[in-house]
Structure 1
Amino acid sequence: MTRLEHRVYELTVGQLAERSGVAVSALHFYESKGLISSRRTAGNQRRFSRDTLRRVSFIKVSQRVGIPLSQIRDALATLPEERTPTVADWARLSEAWRSDLDARIRQLERLRDDLTDCIGCGCLSMSKCALANPYDRLGDEGPGPRRLLAERGAGDAESRPGGGADADCGDPCAPRN
Structure 2
Amino acid sequence: MDGQVDTNVPLTIGEVIRRTGVRASALHFYERKGLIFSSRDGTNQRIYARHMLRRISLIIIAKRLGVPLSDLVAVFAELPSDRAPTHEDWQHMSRSWRRQLQERRRILENLEHELTGCIGCGCLSMKACALLNPDDTLQREGPGPVRLQRPPEPQVRTGRQD
Q: Deviations over 1:50-102 (max 9, x none)?
A: 11100111122223333322221122121123321122211111111222221
1:63-78 → structure 2 map (5 Å cutoff): 63-78=63-78
CA distance in 1, matches of 2:75, 2:65: 15
Normalised by the length of structure 2, the TM-score is 0.77
Could you tell me which residue of structure 2 aligns to residue 11 of structure 1? Answer: 11
Q: How many residues align?
A: 151
SS at match of 2:48: strand
More helix by share: 2
CA distance in 2, matches of 1:62, 1:119: 28
Identity of aligned residues (%): 46
Residues 126 and 132, structure 2, Cα contact 8 Å, conserved in 1? no
1:118, distance to aligned residue in structure 2 (A): 1.3
Q: Deviations over 1:119-162 (max 9, x none)?
A: 277635633x23212244435655432211233466xxxxxxxx
CA distance in 2, matches of 1:47, 1:110: 44
1:128-139 → structure 2 map (5 Å cutoff): 129-139=129-139
Structure 1 stretch displaced more, 20-29 or 134-143:
134-143
1:81-92 → structure 2 map (5 Å cutoff): 81-92=81-92
Amino acid at match of 1:99: R
SS at match of 1:119: helix
CA distance in 2, matches of 1:63, 1:31: 16
Any stretches of 5+ residues in structure 1 without a counterpart? 155-177
CA distance in 2, matches of 1:153, 1:112: 14
CA distance in 1, matches of 2:28, 2:101: 27
Structure 1 stretch displaced more, 84-93 or 43-52:
84-93
Residues 11 and 47, structure 2, Cα contact 8 Å, conserved in 1? yes
Normalised by the length of structure 1, the TM-score is 0.72
CA distance in 1, matches of 2:126, 2:17: 49
Structure 1 stretch displaced more, 140-149 or 89-98:
140-149
Q: Deviations over 1:102-128 (max 9, x none)?
A: 11111111111211111277635633x
Could you tell me which residue of structure 2 aligns to residue 119 of structure 1? Answer: 119
Amino acid at match of 1:123: L
* Cα RMSD for the two superposed structures: 2.7
SS at match of 1:62: helix
